[in-house]
Amino acid sequence: MYLSLEKVLTKSNISTQNFWNFQKFEEFYVCVYTSREGSHVLFHHEVSCIFYFIFIVGLFNLYEDLYFTYLEINPLVVTKEGVYILDMAAKIDATADYICKPKWGDVVFPPPFGREAYPEEAYIADLDAKSGASLKLTLLNPRGRIWTMVAGGGASVVYSDTICDLGGVDELANYGEYSGAPSEQQTYDYAKTILSLMTNEKHPDGKVLIIGGSIANFTNVAATFKGIVRAIKDYQGPLKEHEVTIFVRRGGPNYQEGLRVMGEVGKTTGIPIHVFGTETHMTAIVGMALGHRPIPNQPPVAAHTANFLLNTSASAATPARTRNTSFCEHKLSTSVTDGMTPTAVEFKSNVCLSTPLAKATTLFSRQTKAIVWGMQTRAVQGMMDFDYVCSREEPSVVAMIYPFTGDHKQKFYWGHKEILLPVYKNMADAMKKHPDVDVLINFASLRSAFDSTMETMQYPQIHTIAIIAEGIPEALTRKLIKTSDEKGVTIIGPATVGGIKPGCFKIGNTGGMLDNILASKLYRPGSVAYVSRSGGMSNELNNIISHTTDGVFEGVAIGGDRFPGSTFMEHVLRYQDTPGVKMIVVLGEIGGTEEYNICQGIADGRITKPVVCWCIGTCATMFSSEVQFGHAGACANQASETAVAKNQALREAGAFVPNSFDELGDVIKFVYDDLVAKGIIVPAQEVPPPTVPMDYSWARELGLIRKPASFMTSICDERGQELIYAGMPITEVFKEEMGLGGVLGLLWFQRRLPRYACHFIEMCLMVTADHGPAVSGAHNTIVCARAGKDLVSSLTSGLLTIGDRFGGALDAAAKQFSKAFDSGLLPMEFVNKMKKDGVLIMGIGHRVKSINNPDMRVQILKDFVKQHFPSTQLLDYALEVEKITTSKKPNLILNVDGFIGVAFVDLLRTCGGFTRDEADEFVEIGTLNGIFVLGRSIGFIGHYLDQKRLKQGLYRHPWDDISYVLPEHMSM
């Protein structure tokens, strides 16, 4: 059975169908859809045709096999002859491409419904497909005056919400995000696309660009800002012409340097750029940009990522350390139905029929031990630094699993001390040797995360698993959920940064760098627990809660996928049963109905602690076209799944719901202050944490220290987006068709040589490539190859023979002839002097070639040099010497080594690219012999390959070719 997906109807794509006659009673409806619990089939059961039921079964199998997430046939015509599909709408899980590509074929996912993709949207989509980062762009109103460039999927939604809340929906030009630590070049490409779009046409009121974001967990903010700064410099003219004002707010690793650079570019270009850090509420810049709040005149307080090295006492209140968590376990499962099946029979797959094991209320403690799957050394070091600053007695990470290497040890720091952590090739060994481990943090890729997580759940000691990977197919995630429910395992993720329990444990990169951990007081527990979908927004919650309360007790980011491994309700109920938690914060979002379970829990009295809740994505109902927000699950399929509907329901249920995200901090503070006033929360004095030394590499990146480099290079730089040879990007090398000679000029001489010089170099390589198997270098290579050695060993054996007697005469000849010529010696005087001193003239003489049997290699080179070189003074001098030497013996010719040596001196001295001293220095340091070494390597490799191809055996020199000369008698 084969079903084809209907294409989206646009002006350029009209679908036509065959016409069928059918009766009304033959028309039916079929729908297959997916929920967290499984796949559901809705169909009419009062049909007598056997074809119909065969079709339903086949359709469901196809749905599962091809990773559909929704499939609706309306109408479906059933006759005695068969089943006919008249119209169908379907969705497939794009993340399953790596599984279903052979079955799907080439599937082109359509742009927002009702229009073609803009070229810029297609360009960013292509960048996103080629990048490990996340780059998204949807144009809403290209003529709008409000443009955004936001880091993070959750943050991008929050900024759009705030713009719409403040009346900017009609002027909002775009929605998009860049996240996942994009490179400088990727950020530049993304930024220049935005700047190009917003400077296409003017707006009478000017335009604003909001460069926002939450507090990054691991992205180097300064590094990503470099790309944006480059784009601003490139577009400074159009930006000023279109009266663009830029507002920047960002936090995270090295954000202070990023803000400084952004502020500097504003001063140098004359573009008004206002920069703010974590001291400013995340969305406050929206109000400033839209004129709803004043722009502060004073600059933000100077700070630095290295501030955490300075241990200062503080008077801020902190909760008493006597707070303990509850170990009681209680699991409540409720659901909200869609009302989709009033007259239909429903079948479900993946429904767990066995009694599930209870999940732990307390996921983490000061004794929690974890294993990390994947070679994520930076994340592990961050966890250990967190453990140390929390005054844990020992690290929380006890081992790593990395299946691509053998068992070994990996070095980390525990405070000032270096320690070794075992790395295992397989999970069984790790679990057996560390029976006290109860948490696994899975950094496996989206392709292997499912298998490694399923394997982990076979070990009863594990009760919590964090899955970091984004893009796991929904069908596989639902299998993980089903298994975890059966085994009583709590899954955090997929598509998450993890979670944190201040003073106890943190998952991977959660909480960001140590400066943010200390600034948000995450090294000790507070009274507020939160649960969020977004990892970036969870860090923003850490910041908001630390500014408005005594801090975070625990925080979890369940992940942005449609079906996260654990739900809001599961974590809210854990917090409800934990005595140390006094209030709960939930940051929900558009899509799904999980927030209604919280409403039901409050109504039923199961949730009694105050809950502050806000669902992001309220702007979705204001957009005229479809928008896929940053998270996979952030999409409303019905009215009840909109953020507006859920916020209203939560407010009516008794939760504390602000009017916008802008007011979230105020509401949290209001609830907290009330709990303090009632004596439910009793603040305690702050205890300063121990200091943790900064890693050398990070301190150097921040510019705090300097150290002489062990190596210096001036010819090549591979660190950027593009390889650079002596200042020239590799794309330019090919564009200019510089050839091998041009590349050699860049890497050896740091010059772009004239074309004739590049051609001469290539000719030298060609004529020196080989001179038969009898010469010592080729002979050694052949013997070594026949002894069974590898290519590199055989090549090295041949190269080691190069010296003054074989192939090494280029430098010596250049030096001897140059010295004689520069000293003013006549050719005859030079010859006589060398004879008197008993020194051979290097580059003169050949065993076979002579004046009567000239070396055609020399003749070819001489013809080219005479035709193209500006001057050949030294070559002419050497040819005069040749006349004298050949008059005495015809084979004392200027050989190919000598010719290349003297011709190269003429090239260096007369091509215009070198001073006389520079030319002499290149000769002195042995550059010219490199020509012979490079050229002859080609021949040596040829001989090696020839011997292997001919399958020649071990070489043994014949006895009759050896003269054995031994003493006839040896007396004692």
What is the helix, strand, coil percentage profile of the chain, to 5? 40, 15, 45
DSSP track, 77-128: EE-SS-EEE--EEEEE-GGGHHHHHHHH-S-----STTSPPPHHHHHHHHHH
What is the rounded distance in angstroms from the CA atom of residue 881 to the CA atom of residue 929? 22
Strand partners, 409: 422
Whether the upstream peptide bond of residue 75 has omega within 30° of 0, thus cis, is yes
What is the rounded distance in angstroms from the CA atom of residue 780 to the CA atom of residue 776? 6
What is the rounded distance in angstroms from the CA atom of residue 37 to the CA atom of residue 339? 16
Active site residue 571: no
What is the rounded distance in angstroms from the CA atom of residue 650 to the CA atom of residue 600? 9
Task: Check the CA dihedral 234-237-241-243 and report its sign.
Answer: positive
What is the rounded distance in angstroms from the CA atom of residue 542 to the CA atom of residue 502? 10
DSSP track, 254-298: THHHHHHHHHHHHHHH---EEEE-TTS-TTHHHHHHTTSSPPPSS
DSSP track, 781-797: HHHHHHTT--HHHHHHH
Task: Check the CA dihedral 602-603-604-608 and report its sign.
Answer: positive
Single-letter amino acid code for the residue at 48: S
Among left, alpha and beta (phi > 0; psi -120 to 50; other), residue 712 is: beta
**Which residues neighbour 346 within 8 Å (Cβ) at sequence distance 6 or greater?**
40, 41, 42
Q: Is residue 553 within 8 Å of 520, Cβ to Cβ? A: no
Whether the upstream peptide bond of residue 494 has omega within 30° of 0, thus cis, is yes
What is the rounded distance in angstroms from the CA atom of residue 187 to the CA atom of residue 184? 5
User: 3-class SS at 943?
Assistant: helix
Q: Is residue 843 within 8 Å of 894, Cβ to Cβ? A: yes
Q: Is residue 643 within 8 Å of 620, Cβ to Cβ? A: yes
User: 3-class SS at 138?
Assistant: strand
Strand partners, 777: none
Angle (CA) 355-358-360 rounded to 5° is 165
Q: Is residue 603 within 8 Å of 575, Cβ to Cβ? A: no
User: 3-class SS at 717?
Assistant: strand
What is the rounded distance in angstroms from the CA atom of residue 95 to the CA atom of residue 940? 50
Q: Is residue 944 within 8 Å of 781, Cβ to Cβ? A: yes
**Which residues neighbour 100 within 8 Å (Cβ) at sequence distance 6 or greater?**
66, 67, 92
Long-range CB pairs of 925-928 (<8 Å, 24+ gap) are: 926/811, 927/748, 927/749, 927/811, 928/810, 928/811, 928/814, 928/900, 928/901, 928/904
What is the rounded distance in angstroms from the CA atom of residue 85 to the CA atom of residue 1? 12
The backbone torsions φ and ψ at residue 378, rounded to the nearest 5 degrees and listed phi first, read -65, -40
Q: Which tokens go with 819? A: 């010295």
The active-site residue, picked from 281, 463, 631, 846, is 631
Angle (CA) 513-519-520 rounded to 5° is 90
Chain position carrying tokens 């984004």: 470
Active site residues: 631
